[in-house]
A = this chain, B = another copy of it.
Amino acid sequence: MAGKKYAEPTGSELEILQVLWDNGPSTVRLVNEEMNRKREVGYTTTLKLMQIMHAKGLLKRNTDSRTHIYEAVPDRESIQRNLLDNFVDNVFSGSAMQMVMQALGNHRPSVEELGRIKSLIEEMEKKQQ
């Protein structure tokens, strides 16, 4: 089941997960380099975080060669779903609708994007009949 409960990743942990989701199984060095495109982080800082995440079960790793290869355990969507649920609870008092409406308002989607959402909605309306 994809509904598994992972401890909420911290901010830095999430950054690492993103890199691994984007790049697939990777070395600490690659992850660290990717992180440094956004902000300065020391190599051993990244290493330590990844070790902690491994201990928590957020990452698995292959230690066959000296340079370990790390991989995200949870999939992106399930973490996004958890974070989104909590976010809606904490910031929008649980109202996903209000959040969606505000997101649409802030973001000013293009006509093409609006179309995509409209299709999704029509899809959902059909299913509800």
Contact = CB atoms under 8 A, between A and B. Distances in A.
Interface of A: 11, 14-15, 18, 77, 80-81, 83-85, 87-88, 90-93, 96-97, 99-104, 106-111, 113-114, 116-118, 120-121, 124-125, 128
A93 B92 CA distance: 21
Contact of A117 (B88, B91, B92, B117): B117
Nearest to A127: B108
Copies in the complex: 2
B97 A91 contact: no
7 contacts: A84-B103, A87-B91, A96-B107, A97-B109, A101-B117, A111-B125, A117-B117
Given A87-B91, A104-B124, 12 more contacts: A83-B91, A84-B91, A84-B102, A84-B106, A87-B87, A88-B103, A100-B100, A101-B120, A104-B117, A110-B128, A111-B125, A114-B125
